[in-house]
Amino acid sequence: MNASFTIGSLLLDRLYKLGLHHIFGIPGDYVLTLFKLLEESPIRHIGTTREDCAGFAADAYARIHGIGGACVTYCVGGLNMVNAVACAYAERSPVVLLSGSP
């Protein structure tokens, strides 16, 4: 087994195999390790200006490609995603939200 194998790398590998090739979001304190793993994975990060923009972009991406993803930091970052995630849930749009915590 590879010494650099982590839960984060396993998660990104599985999401890629499910068809997630782009992820939207904003790097922040508690997800910097995950963003470092994203640099090494085939999943391309697309930066957004706000967390809600990442959520709505992930929703639109999911409706087109079958799965969408967003990665934001803890607290306010995750809280700003509520409307976008609720919208995706109501429309049965498969969006994965990744968020860190202390």
Q: For the chain, list residues with pLDDT below 50.
A: none
pLDDT digits (tens, 9 = 90+) for 53-69: 999 999 999 999 999 99
- Domain assignment present for 1: no
Query: Is 77 among the domain residues?
Result: yes
**What phi and psi, each to the nearest 5 degrees, are found at residue 98?**
-110, 125
Supply the pLDDT for residue 3. Answer: 61
Cα 12 versus chain centre, distance? 9
pLDDT for 100 equals 86
Q: Domain residues for 52?
A: 7-99
With respect to residue 78, please indicate whether it lies within any of the assigned structural domains: yes
Domain presence at residue 2: no
Identify each DSSP E strand in 1-102 by its residue range.
Answer: 22-25, 44-47, 68-72, 95-99
Q: Which two tokens stand for residue 70?
A: 């967003």
51 part of a folded domain = yes
Domain count, the chain: 1
Specify the CATH number for the domain of residue 74.
Answer: 3.40.50.970
